[in-house]
Amino acid sequence: MIWVARIFSTSIGKKQLMAVTGILFLVFLTTHLLGNLSIYGGIEAFNAYAEHLHALGKLLVVAEVGLVVALIIHVTLAIILFFENRKARPIKYAVDKSGGGGRTLSSQTMPFTGLLILAFVGLHLANLSHHIVDQTNRTIFQIAYEVFANKGILIFYLASMVVVGLHVRHGLWSAFQTIGANHPKYMPFIEWLSIFFAVIVAVGFGSLPLAILALK
């Protein structure tokens, strides 16, 4: 197993682990969004979705453990890469200017949007996770409504969804590039998908608290 450590301690190996775990989060985001869109079917549908999800039992635990492991890998590597990259340029340029067509707001802010997302995930779990919040006497809808009724939290949620969109905008195509999926025929599509998916995530998740508040 030495070879595994050797591969994943290289710069490309680390980046590829980032990419694979990132893609896992993208899949998670997709299912999470699809599930939560049940809110548009009304309160009953939303609560029913939550119950079905919990009924998965051990399968859900496996998914949760998987996500936590992926999160630990993604965050740990991000921190390592961040400091390695800072070290690689000890003296900064006096003028640091992009050539245009290169780095984007999204690509430049990845470490910071990542950190914000981490904070968001913490709050999100504290507010809504069935492991943390007592759900015996309340439906998931009631819990969510109470959370979003707090204006501060609502604004933080909405802002966080923009941040997630920003992170995904660079993360998606970048993950494909890093695992080597770049071909002149389909790379333009992946780049387009990055933007499209970013908008969907930001608008889709962002609309949920508003929909919940509107339903009461």
Partner 1 sequence: MSGKNINLTLKIWRQNSPEDRGRWEIFQAKDISTEASFLEMLDIVNEQLALAGKEPVAFDHDCREGICGTCGCAVNGRPHGPDRETTLCQLHMRRFQEGDTLVIEPYRARAFPVIKDLVVDRSAFDGVIQAGGFVSVNTGQAQDANNLPVPRDDAERAMDAAACIGCGACVAACPNAAAMLFVSAKVSHLAVLPQGRTEAARRALSMVAQMDAAGFGNCTNHKECEVECPKGISISNIARLNREFIKAGLASKE
**CA 5, 169, 98, 108 torsion: positive or negative?**
negative
Where does this chain bind partner 1 (CB under 8 A)? 3, 7, 10-16, 81, 84-85, 87-103, 107-108, 110, 170, 173-174, 177-184, 187
Q: Minimum distance between the CB of residue 4 and partner 1, rounded to whole angstroms?
A: 9
Identify which of residues 57 and 90 has a Cβ nearer to partner 1 in the complex. 90
In the complex, the smallest distance separating the C-beta of residue 115 from partner 1, rounded to whole angstroms, is 15
- The span from the CA of 203 to the CA of 122, in Å, is 21
Nearer of residues 58 and 185 to partner 1, judged by Cβ: 185
CB of 148 to partner 1, least distance (A): 34
Nearer CB in complex with partner 1: 57/99 = 99
105 closest CA partner among 26, 170, 15, 159: 170
Is-contact 145 175, C-beta < 8 A?
A: no
Question: Are the C-beta atoms of residues 207 and 157 closer than 8 Å to each other?
Answer: no
Query: 102 or 152, CB closer to partner 1?
Result: 102
**Residue ranges with strand state E in 20-165:** none
Whole-number minimum distance, CB 188 to partner 1, in Å?
12
Structure tokens at 75: 């965050």
Q: Answer whether 162's CB lies under 8 Å from 199's CB.
A: no
Q: Tell me whether residue 103 or residue 216 sits nearer to partner 1 (CB atom).
A: 103
Q: Taking the complex as a whole, how short is the minimal distance between the CB of residue 88 and partner 1, in angstroms?
A: 3
Which of 160, 170, 198 is closest to 19 using CA atoms?
170
The residue to which tokens 């970013």 are assigned: 198
